[in-house]
Structure 1
Amino acid sequence: METDKQLFGENKQSNGRCNEPKHVKDIKAESKNANGHPNLIQATFQKMFHLDVPDKPKSTKSSSNTSSESEEDKGESNVPRGEKRLSSTTAGSKLRFQKLPTGSHAHNLQPSKRAHRVSAILRELGFISHNHYEEQTQPSHSNASSEKSSRSECSFAEKYGTCREIIGKGAFGIVRIAHKAEAKTPGGKLFAVKEFRRRHNEPTKKYIKRLTSEFCISSSLHHLNVIDTLDLMQDTQGKYCEVMEYCAGGDLYSLIVASGGLELEEADCFFGQLINGVKYLHDNGVAHRDLKPENLLLTAAGCLKITDFGNGECFRMAWETQAHLSRGVCGSEPYIAPEEFTGNWFDPRLVDIWACGIIYMCMITGRHLWRIAKWQEDGQYRLYTEAKADGRVLSQFQGLNNGRRRVMNKIIEPNPKLRVTAEQITQDSWFAKIVICFRPLSTGSSGVAGTCCASSHQESVLSNNYNVVS
Structure 2
Amino acid sequence: MPIFTNPFQDRSVKQMDSASLKPPLPHEPIPPALSRVGRGASSDASRRPSVATVSSINSNPDTQHNHLNVPRRPSAWGRMSDYVVRRSSTPHITAPPLHEWDRWVAQTKRTSSDQLIDESRMSALTRKYGELCEVSGLGADSIILVSHKYQYCPPLDNYYALKVLRRAPDQSPSDHQKRVTAEFALASTLTHKHIVSTYELLPLGPSNNPDLSVISMEYCAGGDLHSIIAGSATHKLPVEQADCLFKQLLRGITYLHGKDVAHRALAPENLLLTNRGCLKIADFGQATCFRVPGEEPIVLSKGKCGISPPYISPEQYTDAEFDPRAVDVWAAAVIYVAMRTGRNLWQEANEGEAGFAEFIKERRDGKRNAVIDEISTDLSRDILYSMLSINSADRPAAAQVLSSPWVEAVDCCIPAATVE
Please state which band the TM-score falls in when normalised by the shorter chain. 0.7 to 0.9
**Aligned pairs (5 A) from 1:73-112:** 96=77, 98=79, 105-108=81-84
The residue aligned with 2:344 is: 368
Contact 1:339 1:416 in 2 (8 A): yes
Q: TM-score if structure 1 supplies the norm length?
A: 0.67
Aligned position for 1:389: 364
Map of 2:31 onto structure 1: 37
Letter in 2 for 1:232: L
Give yes or no for the alignment of 1:423 onto 2:403: no
Separation in structure 1 between the aligned mates of residue 285 and residue 122 of structure 2, nearest angstrom:
25
Matched to 2:412, the amino acid is: I
Kept in 2, the 8 Å contact 1:32–1:39? The answer is no
Separation in structure 2 between the aligned mates of residue 133 and residue 327 of structure 1, nearest angstrom: 33
Is the Cα–Cα contact under 8 Å of residues 404 and 430 in structure 1 kept in the other structure?
yes
Q: 1:279 aligns with which of 237, 244, 254?
A: 254
Does the 8 A contact of 1:110 with 1:248 survive in 2?
Answer: no
Task: Report the 3-state secondary structure (helix = DSSP H, G, I; strand = E; otherwise coil) of the residue aligned with 1:193.
Answer: strand
Structure 2: stretches of 5+ with no match in the other structure: 1-14, 36-44, 47-73, 95-99
Cα 1:140–1:170 shift into 2, 3 Å:
closer
Deviation of 1:187 (Å): 7.7
Q: Displacement, 1:430?
A: 0.8
Root-mean-square deviation (Å): 3.5
Counterpart CA distance in 1 for 2:179 and 2:355 is 36
Does 2:263 correspond to 1:288?
yes
Distance change (3 Å), C-alpha of 1:245 and 1:380: same
Q: Supply the AA of the counterpart residue of 1:181.
A: Y
Report if the CA contact (8 A) 1:327-1:345 is conserved: yes
Q: 1:320 to 1:176 in 2, by over 3 A?
A: same
Which amino acid in structure 2 is aligned with residue 408 of structure 1? L
Query: Matched residues in 2 for 1:338 and 1:295: separation?
Result: 20
The match for 2:277 is: 302
What SS does structure 2 have at the residue aligned with 1:231? strand
1:157 is the counterpart of 2:126: yes
How far apart are residue 165 of structure 1 and its match? 1.2
The structure with the largest helix share of the pair is: 1
**Structure 1 position 230, deviation (Å):** 0.5
Please say if residues 252 and 293 of structure 1, whose CA atoms lie closer than 8 Å, have aligned partners that are also in contact.
yes
1:251 corresponding residue in structure 2? 224
Of the three residues 137, 142, 150, the one matched with 1:168 is 137
Which residue type is aligned with residue 136 of structure 1?
R
Counterpart Cα distance in 1 of 2:292 and 2:418: 21
Q: 1:111 to 1:244 in 2, by over 3 A?
A: farther
1-structure distance, mates of 2:246, 2:76 = 20
Partner of 1:183: 152
User: In the alignment, which residue of structure 1 is the partner of 2:214?
Assistant: 241
| Counterpart Cα distance in 2 of 1:229 and 1:192 | 9
Instruction: Quote the Cα distance in structure 2 between the aligned partners of 1:272 and 1:7.
Output: 26
Between 1:362-371 and 1:406-415, the stretch displaced more is 406-415
Contact kept, 8 Å, 1:133 with 1:199, in 2: the verdict is: no
Query: Residue 223 in 1 paired to residue 223 in 2?
Result: no
Task: Report the alpha carbon displacement of residue 40 of structure 1 after superposing the two structures with TM.
Answer: 7.0
- Residue by residue over 1:398-438, the C-alpha shift from the partner in whole angstroms, topping out at 9 and shown as x without a partner, is 22211121211111111112111111112211111111222
Could you tell me which residue of structure 1 aligns to residue 59 of structure 2?
Answer: none
Q: Superposed, which structure 2 residues align to 1:313-462 within 5 Å?
A: 313-331=288-306, 332-375=308-351, 377-399=352-374, 400-439=376-415, 441=417
5+ residue gaps, structure 1: 1-5, 10-23, 42-47, 50-92, 100-104, 119-123, 125-129, 445-470
CA offset at residue 163 of structure 1?
Answer: 1.6
TM-score w.r.t. the length of structure 2 is 0.74
Q: What is the aligned residue count?
A: 351
CA contact (8 A) 1:329 1:341 kept: yes
What is the Cα deviation at residue 231 of structure 1? 0.6
